[in-house]
Structure 1
């Protein structure tokens, strides 16, 4: 553990102020000058008309907090300071917790490990979760689960009286925050539980980039998802982990998983399988879904939204577990590849530099993303598992016309006409919407890290068969452009998407206790209305 952390922490050596004594000097001067700036902002925006504020609707408190946070975030990029973190391999004493209960989830079983989560750099480990509410039934492993204790009668399921379980992935750019109840991002599950939107929420304390590279984060999320599926499978039916469900995809080297390679021109399929492969996978997942005694919604804010998308993709691609019933994406990070332009001159800054607290300095962002990838080649940055809204990914799946059509689209302009146009556009010439699977390459899974290309199994498109989603996005945040691309691509593939547009909202407003409470309440009301549909 110590060796791995030390290896992952090496990225700080490249930061200009990560070493002492420069680190202390830089942080001290940054804090001092920021406090001076707070005084200046207070005076300036008090005496100037509202029309000269970053957004006329913003209060003085919102302006100061956004500007203050932006300056402090710069410390992360230049001095490697992180906050709100905890060691994910340490147990949390439940006596210190007031709202949640800490428990361990066993590592993902060997027979379930396939696709992108199989990797020599990242070892599958047990995962800590903070369960909301604290008094929820405790079951730290499938062995401890008592089927009779939580059996739900079929009539209750048909009547709609089904537990709604949330799996929460916190934000923080994969280097900040944790799932602890005191972390800033825990405001989200706290409010959702207060409003009784969920029966129970598992907040996943996944490994940050300081502790392990990709795909350790997906491994941790998959272990928790599998655990919940096992707990809520109806008895006397094939479970999600049984051989009946996963016998056709037992490991990554069985040569039975189809892949369509959209980028490699000289890729020649070695075998061609019947379309029954895809129908069989759908059948397995549908059967597993029918056996579920609960609804599962994946929740993620910022980087947590990125992880939710990766987990949902792994579930769909490997076809071993039932899909979740919904994805709740709160200002999701969906194009980390933005930090790696094809050439320095092609770099396009993210929008809304004056109205968001996120910083967008290419070099430090690239350093963090490169650390996140570990020893994997840089091409992995354009994997749909890492950057599903990358222009390169969109172009590969849908062609130039679609990629260009969403380049400058905003949520405000994503009206019914634009949505209808996106859904009817033709795909890229080599991208099958329907039809027989395209090809097979022996010895590799479609989501394997051995060859990090833009690929999809069984001839599926980028978001084919994804569950319905609710996307929350502020029109004043720096991720607006990439999240709009995500929404456009999901709707292009037939995913039912509800977009909650936060007028004048900065990044991840639900995490901010200092944001306008009326605005946040409206967002939660919209989310909870969507959850009722789920």
Structure 2
């Protein structure tokens, strides 16, 4: 896989995107960076350790971070992308050594609701690279179907599953990083170091790495569509057939009622996948409870444990997919989220006014760059035809200050604005959980103009402004989450805002602190192997806790 120089809207507008300036800039940047390597090596070999970006860093780590930072600047200013592939191209399994390539059908029509629906972004089939290459025996086949509208579900008998409960598959859905414009799910691409390591440690039965559409191929919500298609495919492949005696679930209020006339026997062939309700209608408390009960009932027959895994921009996509699953209530929720240095505030490139832009921290200790203008161009292309206000949606920037203020009020937003890993102790978590939320505001029928006062709607999913359905808070009903984060990376503050908001809403969060760690250490082949081993051990411990609970 080679670097791509395909011109798209954001690339064409970059400062050095046009020839001959592009070639001149890229070549000089590469040459000068290579020439800097011996200078860095000599300087940091002679100087005391206290002069290093982090005293614990080796020469290899220092050189790698400095080298990557200069190369990433090329992407920011010249619009160069690398390690990408056409998401609509197939892959010959004979060329793959560790994975098998599979196509997943587009998201079924009965699941096309909420944020994933966009008249200008078509639903398409999705390629996945599945670890391991040989399918494990406990993974069921997908039934072949000549009907494109068929659900292709294999219902596994409940008795057979219960007899082999100890072998319930643990399935990972991996969404790679790369700022929505770089990288691929292919096994030879850098992000594949993450599923490779998790499979080597036998943490998962299978991991499906999703070749979702990057912004060069389709704007938001294409990536969410693709991730949702794979999630629905796995749910349908593994869902179990309930016993004939199983009753349909009741709402929380009807469970205490003597009136049982509406209770029906569940057909043996009924699929516990979709939950039929109008997501655009405002729900009262009784209806909300009924939705929650029925989703939980559907989860009982999921037939496997599903974990969503994402690094960097892939972590952003995991959060968006999880929110869609929760908001629409038509699929059972995942069992856990594994977020590796997740990007959770892309709206940082769109401050409320240019003068209010605050640079991200740790400029000297991370390889990520933070150039506002190119980032804004990239994110604007990501939005496509959607209004700029979409950037401040919980689906795109759940940890932005505007979103946090809208849901929790100024006091909470201020309390997490400078929150760091080191500060997040038990007392701080308890304080965040007891802080009051912002009062509810009237429903906004249309998104406000940029800079206008923000209103919070309970059901505004057709236009993704700052809203949450059925009056829920920002992270209500999100699954258990493990977040891996380095205290030397530029995303530390925004990820800690995410952690604070999740803790505020009662989500069980385990934070794996990588001391002196840069962005996305598990993807970094040149990072300290002992540190990466400790991170993986912490992830595996968390997985065991979730699966055994």
What is the TM-score of this pair, normalised by structure 2? 0.87
Corresponding residue SS for 2:8:
helix
- The structural deviation recorded for 1:368 is 0.5
- The structural deviation recorded for 1:161 is 3.3
- The structural deviation recorded for 1:118 is 0.4
C-alpha contact 1:141 1:227 (8 A) present in aligned 2: no
Cα deviation, 1:186-212, whole Å, max 9, x if unaligned, reads: 000000000000000000000000000
Picking from 340, 359, 373, the partner of 1:330 is 340
Q: Does 1:514 align with 2:526?
A: yes
C-alpha contact 1:299 1:329 (8 A) present in aligned 2: yes
C-alpha contact 1:116 1:447 (8 A) present in aligned 2: no
Q: Distance in 1 between matches of 2:501 and 2:155?
A: 43
- The structural deviation recorded for 1:91 is 0.2
Picking from 469, 474, 477, the partner of 2:489 is 477
Q: Distance in 1 between matches of 2:366 and 2:316?
A: 19
Unaligned runs of 5+ in 2: 146-151, 242-267, 447-456
Q: From the superposition, tell whether residues 142 and 347 of structure 1 become closer, same or farther in structure 2 (CA, over 3 Å).
A: farther
For residue 185 of structure 1, what is the aligned residue in structure 2?
191
Corresponding residue SS for 2:479:
coil
For residue 121 of structure 1, what is the aligned residue in structure 2?
120
For residue 9 of structure 2, what is the aligned residue in structure 1?
10
- Larger RCO (CA under 8 A, 6+ residues apart): 1
Corresponding residue SS for 1:43:
helix
- Counterparts in 2 of 1:136-151, with a 5 A limit? 136=135, 143=144, 147=154
Corresponding residue SS for 2:119:
coil
- The structural deviation recorded for 1:275 is 1.3
For residue 51 of structure 1, what is the aligned residue in structure 2?
50
**Two-structure CA RMSD over aligned residues (Å):** 2.1
Q: Does 1:238 align with 2:270?
A: yes
Q: Does 1:369 align with 2:370?
A: no
Cα deviation, 1:422-448, whole Å, max 9, x if unaligned, reads: 0000111227xxxxxx97979x99353
- The structural deviation recorded for 1:153 is 2.5
Picking from 287, 290, 295, the partner of 2:300 is 290
Q: Distance in 2 between matches of 1:115 and 1:506?
A: 36
Q: Does 1:454 align with 2:461?
A: no
Q: Which ranges of 4 or more aligned residues in structure 1 deviate by more than 6 Å?
A: 148-152, 438-442
- The structural deviation recorded for 1:78 is 1.1
For residue 427 of structure 1, what is the aligned residue in structure 2?
437
For residue 257 of structure 2, what is the aligned residue in structure 1?
none
Between the two proteins, the alignment pairs up a number of residues equal to 498
C-alpha contact 1:284 1:320 (8 A) present in aligned 2: no
C-alpha contact 1:104 1:128 (8 A) present in aligned 2: yes
Q: Distance in 2 between matches of 1:356 and 1:152?
A: 52
- The structural deviation recorded for 1:155 is 2.6
C-alpha contact 2:115 2:464 (8 A) present in aligned 1: no
Q: Does 1:153 align with 2:160?
A: yes
- The structural deviation recorded for 1:217 is 0.3
Cα deviation, 1:224-269, whole Å, max 9, x if unaligned, reads: 000000011112363244xxx43223xx6xx53x2xxxxxxxxxxx
Q: Distance in 1 between matches of 2:343 and 2:153?
A: 38
Q: Distance in 2 between matches of 1:365 and 1:38?
A: 27
For residue 269 of structure 1, what is the aligned residue in structure 2?
none
- Counterparts in 2 of 1:31-430, with a 5 A limit? 31-136=30-135, 143=144, 147=154, 153-156=160-163, 159-235=165-241, 236=268, 238-241=270-273, 245-249=274-278, 255-256=280-281, 258=282, 273-430=283-440
- The structural deviation recorded for 1:283 is 1.8
What is the TM-score of this pair, normalised by structure 1? 0.90
Unaligned runs of 5+ in 1: 259-272, 432-437
- The structural deviation recorded for 1:104 is 0.3
Q: Distance in 2 between matches of 1:113 and 1:461?
A: 23
Cα deviation, 1:48-96, whole Å, max 9, x if unaligned, reads: 1111100000000000000000000011011111011000000011110
Cα deviation, 1:123-150, whole Å, max 9, x if unaligned, reads: 1100000000011168785546673779
For residue 492 of structure 1, what is the aligned residue in structure 2?
504
